[in-house]
Structure 1
C-alpha cells in the first residue's frame, strides 16, 4: 500500500553557482516515506546537484526544503553516498569504518556485522583505502551512508563494474532495509537492476528543470526502465519534450501589459499628432523605443510557453535596457531643441506622460531580472507585487514572527511557573 506521508518536500527550489550558473531552476518535488525515486537526465542536467540539495549537503539559493523526521536532527536521518574514492594515505578500511561507527554511536553489533559481511568489508579490513579499487570504494561509501540507519538515503552511484552476484546481494540488502525501515531512497542514474529493486518512480531533469515525473504503476506492462530511459533521452535530443513554463510569468506579463497600455495610448497619440514628421531623427528614436518594447513583450509572452533560461533572461535585460537608454537620450535631445521645432511640445508631453512607465521598467522589471529575483525567489503571488509592497510584506512577516516568539516565550514562562507551583504542592504534602 502506498504511503502518502512526505519525507522531504522541495518548494520553488533553485541553485545558482557564482551568481550566473543556474543549475537547478524552481524545482517542486515531494518524496514520500518508503518511496524509491530515480533521477535521470542528460549530462549537465543538474542530477547530482539536486541530489546534494535533497541530502542537505549544499544550501539552496532560493525556495524551501522541508524534512519530516521524528526527531529534529535532520542530518542524522539522511544518508548520502559521497562520490569521492580517494582517501588520505595510510588510512585502513577498519579505521574509517570504526570512525563512522563511533561518531554515530552505533551499538547494534548484529547490524554492524551485517554491513561488514554484505559489503565485503571483512575481506578488506586491514587494507589501506588507497589500495582498494574504485568500484568497491563506491560500495563502501554506501555502507558508510547507511551505518546510522537513516530514513532518507541518497545514492549517487551504485557501481556497475562489480560482479553481478555481489551487486545483487547488496541491492537485495538495500531493498530489505528500505522496506523494513520505510526509508525513502533517491538514486541518481540507476541501471536496470538497481531501478527494479529500489525505485517505483522516476523524474527526468533537463537543463535544471523537471520535465517528466512518472510512477512505474502507470507504465504499460511491456515498458522497461531501459526502454523508458532510451525513449525519454531520444525525445530530449529531438526536442520533442518541452519544459512546462513557470506560472509566475503570467502576472509579470500582465503587470507589463497594464503599464504598456498607458504608454501605447500616449505613443499613438504622439505619432498621430506628428503625421508627416515620422522621419525626423528624434521621432525615429521614439519609434525605436516602441520597437524594443515590442521585442520585450514578445520575450515575456514566450516565457508563458517555454522554460526560463539564460538566453531569454538576457533578451529581457537587453530590450529593457535599450528602451530606457533611448528614452533618456531622446528626452535630453528634445529638451535642447529650439521652441520653433513643431514636435518639441508634443514630444516633451509624451515623455512626461510616460515617466511612470519608464520608472517601472528601470526600478521594477530590469532590476528584478538583473538580480535573479524571478529565477530564484519569486512566486506567482510575489511576482505581482511592487518593491514597496514586497517591503511591506516582509515587514508584516517580521512582525508576525516577533509576535509568535513573544507568545512562545510567555507560554514557556507560564509552564515553568505552573511546574514550580506543582513542585511546591508536592513538597507541602
Structure 2
C-alpha cells in the first residue's frame, strides 16, 4: 500500500478483495478481508464508532475500513441503554464544541431519520422550576439556550405549563419544542448498514487485547490481537471504545488518565394505565453544584414512560443489574485517586442517589414535585444503563472531547477517542465529522 500525497492508493488485489467482501457484507455477513489488512480500523461498534466508520467511507470510498466489536452485535452498551432523547443543546457553555455539535447533531439526526425512515417523535421538553430559588437558574438556562441558537425556546407561566402537560405543576418552565425521542439502537444499526453498503466490514466477537507495531519503519502495520487469537492488521487505528476507552488507550502506551468511572442509572417505568400523565419530556431545573441532572420523565418510542434515572457507582462497567459485580472493574474504580475527591465533594447528593436506588418511595417523592398524582403503585422497576464517566486525578468530571495517541511510532498512527461526552448519541453525526477531520489531519489522509 502506498501513500501518495493526500491519497491512499490501494493495490488491485486489495480492491478485488474489497469488492468480494463488500458483497458478503451486503448479504449480512461479517468476514475478514483476504489478507486481514485494512487502511483504517475502528475499534468499537457503538453509535459513535459506527458514525465515524460511516463518515470515513463517505469521504474516502477508496479506503479499506474495518470495525472491530467485542460483542455479538452493535450498540450493546451505552448506545443501546440510554433514555432515547434527542437533545436540543440547552445546557452547554455557549460557544463550546458540545453546544455546537448538539444543535447541529440534532438537526442532522432528524434529517437522517427522515431519509432512512427511522421512527422518531418531536415531542418537546419542559424544564420546570418548582421552587422560587430555581426560577433565576431557569431564566439563565433560557438565555444560554438562546446563545446556543436552540430554536423556538420560550418561557411558560403556570397556566401555559398545564396546557402542555396537564398534570405537571411548576412556577415557570422552559419549553424546548424540538427535543425529541428515538430508538438509538435502531439508529446505530442504520449506521452499520450504511457502512456495510459502502464496502466496510464489521467484525463482531473481536475483543482487542493487544495493539502493537509489526516491524519498524513508516510502512510497518499495526496488529490488533483478539482475546480469541484472531489477528487483524491496519495502517491506522481509531478507537471509540466507550466504557473500555481508557483500557484500550493504555494498550498503545497512553496515560491511565483520564480514567473511566462507571455510573449506573436505574429507571422506573410508569404503568401503562398511567402513561397519560406524561406527554413529553419533563426535566428538573439543573443545579450547577451537582454533577448529574436529576430525575426526569421520558416518553419512549414504544409508548412507555421512563422515570429517573438515579446515578450511582457501578461495580461492573457493563453490568446492568443492581447486584452485578466484576472484581477488576471494582478494583480499578476503588483505586481511582480522583473518585474519593468527587465523593467527598458530593457526599450528600451521593447518599440521596444511593437511597433512590433501593427505595422507590424516595424516587417517587422527587417525581411528585412535578406531577403530584404519581404514587408508588403507579410504577414498576425498569431498565438500567451504565455511563462511561471520564474522571481526572482531581475528581473532576471530564466534560470535553479527549483525543490521544500514545508514545513513539505507534502513537502517530492511532487516534483514541477517550471521551465523547453526552449527548454523544444526539450529536453522533456531527461528532463523526469532527473525529474524521482529526483523522485526516493526524494521518494525512
For the pair shown, which has the larger CA radius of gyration, 1 or 2? 1
Q: Which structure dedicates a bigger proportion of its chain to strand?
A: 2
Higher helix share: 1
Q: TM-score, normalised by structure 1?
A: 0.22
TM-score (norm 2): 0.22
Structure number with higher relative contact order (C-alpha < 8 Å, ≥ 6 residues apart): 2
